[in-house]
C-alpha cells in the first residue's frame, strides 16, 4: 500500500512556542559584518560579533526562519565527551588525537550550559549524560575497553547490562550499554535555538526568507552577496551554512549533506507511563552508524530517528510518509504498548558530513570565513565554533581557536554521479548492518 503523504513539521519547533519573526531583506545594502545562516553556528557568531564590535553594523540572514533548519530539527544531544571508536584509545597517538578533539567537545558542552544558564533558556536542559546501547553484542565492539579508557582519561563512563538498562529505561529492548556523563547533556533543541534568538543583542539586524544566492569575494576583502531581490556588500562574512555549503559552491569536493528523518509521539498516556515504570527522561544513541536514536523527553514523548540517507534534493512528503512507517516499526520494537497512531510529528533535516569526520573552520578568502560540517554532532560544536569563528575573524586568538584551526581538514570526495552512487551504497550498507538496532 502506498503511504499517504506526511507534512514535514519539526515537533520540537511546533512545541517551542511562537518565534520572533524578522523581515525579508531587499535592495542594495552595505555592512561591516554579514553572518549567513541562522542556525547554532550563525547565531553564536552573530552574538559574539556584537560583544566584540558594539559600534559595527552586523547583519544575520537566513533563507528560511532563524533556528528552524537542522538546529530546530535535531535530536537534542549536546556532546561534551564523544564516544571513541573501538581501539581509538589503545595507542599513545590515538589518545593524543582523541584529546585534541575532546578539548573542543568539552568546551562546546560547557558553552551550551553557559548560554542556557546565563540567558535563562527554558529548554529542558538535562546534564545527566546519555547512553549508547545495542541489542546485539557484536554491534558494540570493545564496550568495556572503551569505558575503561574513557574513565582513565578523566571521563565518566559506566557499562550497563540488560537489567540495568531495563531499570533505567523502562523498556527491555537493549542488552548492552554504556552511559557517558562528563558534561554530555540533553535538551529541547528548538527551545534552545528560540532562546538564543529571543536573547540576540538588539544591535544585530536579522532577516528571514533572505537567501544568499551567490557569494563573490571582493578584491579588497569581504564579499558581495546577491539575494533574490538585492545584494549585500560586506567587509567581513561568516558563513554558517553547514549542509548547504555545497549548494553555494563552498567545499563541494569536501563535504556533503545527509538527510535524516525523525518522529515525535504524543505524550505517554498514564497506562503507558505505568508500563515504563515512570522512567526519568533519557537519551539513547547507537554506537554504530545507521542505528537508531531514541529519547524519552522531559514532556513525556518518545523521539525516534532511524534513517540516514544521501538525498541532496531533500525528502519529499511521500518519502517522509515511508520513513514514518520505519519510525513506527522502531517504536513497535521498543514500546509494544504504544498504538500505531502515537506519532504526532514527523520531519526531515540535513546534517553535514565529511569522509574523515573532520569539520570546517577556516578562512575561505580574505575576510570570508566558514564554520560547519559537524558530522551529526553540531548542536554544541556549532554553538562553540560559531563563537570562536567570530573571535578569529576579529583577529583574536586562543588555545581553542588554534586547536580548531589545526584540526585535520575534511578530505577530498568525488563529485557528481560517482559520489551519489558511492554514498547511496555506503549509507544503505550501514542501515542494513544496523538492522537489529532499528
Ligand X SMILES: Cc1cc2nc3c(=O)[nH]c(=O)nc-3n(C[C@H](O)[C@H](O)[C@H](O)COP(=O)(O)OP(=O)(O)OC[C@H]3O[C@@H](n4cnc5c(N)ncnc54)[C@H](O)[C@@H]3O)c2cc1C
Question: Given the complex with ligand X, which of 177 and 349 has the nearer CB atom?
Answer: 349
Name the CA dihedral angle for 182, 188, 192, 198, rounded to a multiple of 10 degrees: -160
Q: How far is the CB of 99 from ligand X (least distance, A)?
A: 20
Among 192, 256, 282, 374, binds ligand X (CB under 6 A): 374
Question: Given the complex with ligand X, which of 41 and 175 has the nearer CB atom?
Answer: 41
Q: Is 349 in the site for ligand X (CB under 6 A)?
A: yes
Q: Is 40 in the site for ligand X (CB under 6 A)?
A: yes
User: What CA–CA distances, in Å, run from 63 to 51, 191, 204?
Assistant: 25, 20, 17
Q: How far is the CB of 337 from ligand X (least distance, A)?
A: 25
| C-alpha of 67 from chain center | 12
Among 121, 157, 212, 360, binds ligand X (CB under 6 A): 212
Among 60, 83, 143, 260, binds ligand X (CB under 6 A): 260
Cell triple for residue 251? 567545499
Task: Answer yes or no: are the C-beta atoms of 193 and 68 closer than 8 Å.
Answer: yes
Binding to ligand X in span 305-324, by CB under 6 A: 305
Segment interacting with ligand X, rule: CB under 6 A, options 20-28, 142-150, 343-351, 419-427? 343-351
The bridge status of strand 185-186 relative to strand 77-78 is antiparallel
Q: Is 330 in the site for ligand X (CB under 6 A)?
A: no
Among 177, 222, 376, 410, binds ligand X (CB under 6 A): 376
User: Which residue bears the cell 558594539?
Assistant: 54
Segment interacting with ligand X, rule: CB under 6 A, options 39-47, 94-102, 137-145, 328-336? 39-47
Q: How far is the CB of 283 from ligand X (least distance, A)?
A: 8
Residue with smallest beta-carbon separation from ligand X: 378
Q: How far is the CB of 161 from ligand X (least distance, A)?
A: 25
Please provide residue 9's backbone torsions phi and psi, each rounded to the nearest 5 degrees.
-140, 115
The bridge status of strand 360-365 relative to strand 368-372 is antiparallel
Segment interacting with ligand X, rule: CB under 6 A, options 14-22, 51-59, 73-81, 151-159? 73-81
Distance in angstroms (rounded) separating the CA atoms of residues 116 and 108: 13
Q: Within 10 Å of residue 274's Cβ, how many Cβ atoms?
A: 12
Cell triple for residue 241? 551554512
Task: Answer yes or no: are the C-beta atoms of 187 and 124 closer than 8 Å.
Answer: yes
Cell triple for residue 131? 547512553
Among 175, 184, 188, 242, binds ligand X (CB under 6 A): 242
User: What CA–CA distances, in Å, run from 317 to 110, 155, 169, 257, 292?
Assistant: 37, 42, 32, 18, 21
Q: Is 243 in the site for ligand X (CB under 6 A)?
A: yes
Q: Is 240 in the site for ligand X (CB under 6 A)?
A: yes
Q: Is 39 in the site for ligand X (CB under 6 A)?
A: yes
Segment interacting with ligand X, rule: CB under 6 A, options 11-19, 94-102, 195-203, 239-247? 239-247
Among 29, 71, 297, 358, binds ligand X (CB under 6 A): 71
Q: Is 76 in the site for ligand X (CB under 6 A)?
A: yes
DSSP state of 229: T
Question: Given the complex with ligand X, which of 255 and 342 has the nearer CB atom?
Answer: 255
Distance in angstroms (rounded) separating the CA atoms of residues 417 and 239: 27
Question: What is the phi-psi region of residue 428: left when phi exceeds 0, alpha when psi lies from -120 to 50, beta otherwise?
Answer: alpha
Distance in angstroms (rounded) separating the CA atoms of residues 7 and 263: 11
Binding to ligand X in span 44-63, by CB under 6 A: 61-63
Among 6, 16, 36, 190, binds ligand X (CB under 6 A): 36
Among 46, 47, 69, 335, binds ligand X (CB under 6 A): 69
Binding to ligand X in span 81-100, by CB under 6 A: none
Contacts of 287 by beta carbon, 8 Å cutoff, 6+ apart = 83, 132, 133, 134, 139, 140, 141, 178
Question: Given the complex with ligand X, which of 41 and 265 has the nearer CB atom?
Answer: 41
> Where along the sequence are the contacts to ligand X (CB under 6 A)?
36-42, 61-64, 69-71, 73-77, 79, 211-212, 240-244, 248, 260, 262, 305, 349-351, 372, 374, 376-380, 382
Amino acid at each position: 500500500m502506498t503511504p499517504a503523504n506526511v507534512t514535514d513539521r519539526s515537533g520540537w519547533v511546533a512545541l517551542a512556542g511562537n518565534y520572533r519573526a524578522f523581515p525579508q531583506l531587499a535592495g542594495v545594502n552595505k555592512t561591516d559584518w554579514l553572518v549567513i545562516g541562522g542556525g547554532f553556528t550563525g547565531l553564536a557568531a552573530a552574538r559574539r560579533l556584537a560583544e566584540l564590535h558594539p559600534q559595527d553594523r552586523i547583519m544575520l540572514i537566513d533563507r528560511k526562519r532563524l533556528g528552524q533548519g537542522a538546529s530546530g530539527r535535531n535530536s537534542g544531544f549536546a556532546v561534551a565527551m564523544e564516544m571513541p571508536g573501538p581501539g581509538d584509545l589503545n595507542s599513545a597517538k590515538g589518545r593524543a588525537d582523541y584529546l585534541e578533539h575532546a578539548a573542543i567537545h568539552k568546551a562546546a558542552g560547557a558553552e551550551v550550559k553557559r548560554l542556557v544558564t546565563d540567558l535563562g533558556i527554558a529548554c529542558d536542559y538535562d546534564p545527566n549524560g546519555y547512553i549508547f546501547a545495542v541489542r546485539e553484542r557484536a554491534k558494540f565492539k570493545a564496550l568495556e575497553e572503551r569505558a575503561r579508557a574513557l574513565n582513565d582519561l578523566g571521563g565518566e563512563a559506566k557499562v550497563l547490562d540488560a537489567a540495568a538498562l531495563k531499570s533505567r529505561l523502562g523498556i527491555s529492548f537493549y542488552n548492552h550499554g554504556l552511559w557517558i556523563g562528563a558534561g554530555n547533556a540533553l535538551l529541547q533543541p528548538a527551545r534552545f535555538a528560540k532562546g538564543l534568538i529571543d536573547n540576540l543583542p538588539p544591535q544585530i539586524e536579522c532577516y528571514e526568507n533572505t537567501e544568499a544566492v551567490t557569494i563573490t569575494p571582493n578584491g579588497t576583502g569581504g564579499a558581495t552577496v546577491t539575494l533574490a531581490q538585492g545584494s549585500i556588500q560586506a567587509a567581513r562574512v561568516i558563513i554558517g551554512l553547514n549542509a548547504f555549503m555545497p549548494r553555494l559552491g563552498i567545499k563541494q569536493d569536501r563535504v556533503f549533506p545527509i538527510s535524516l528523518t525523525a518522529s515525535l509521539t504524543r505524550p505517554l498516556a498514564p497506562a503507558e507511563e505505568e508500563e515504563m515504570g515512570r522512567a526519568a527522561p533519557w537519551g539513547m544513541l547507537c554506537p554504530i552508524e545507521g542505528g537508531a536514536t531514541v529519547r524519552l523527553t522531559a514532556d513525556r514523548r518518545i523521539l525516534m530517528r532511524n534513517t540516514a540517507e544521501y538525498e541532496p534534493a531533500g525528502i519529499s512528503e511521500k518519502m517522509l510518509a515511508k520513513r514514518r512507517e520505519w519510525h513506527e516499526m522502531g517504536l513497535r520494537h521498543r514500546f509494544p504498548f504504544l498504538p500505531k497512531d502515537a506519532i504526532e510529528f514527523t520531519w526531515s533535516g540535513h546534517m553535514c558530513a565529511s569522509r574523515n569526520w573532520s569539520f570546517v573552520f577556516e578562512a575561505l578568502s580574505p575576510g570570508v570565513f566558514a564554520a560547519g560540517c559537524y558530522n551529526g554532532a553540531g548542536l554544541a560544536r556549532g554553538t562553540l565554533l560559531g563563537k570562536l569563528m567570530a573571535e578569529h575573524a576579529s583577529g583574536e586568538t586562543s588555545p581553542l581557536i588554534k586547536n580548531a584551526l589545526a584540526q585535520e581538514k575534511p578530505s577530498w570526495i568525488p563529485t557528481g554521479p560517482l559520489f551519489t552512487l558511492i554514498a547511496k551504497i555506503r549509507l544503505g550498507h550501514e542501515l542494513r548492518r544496523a538492522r537489529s538496532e532499528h
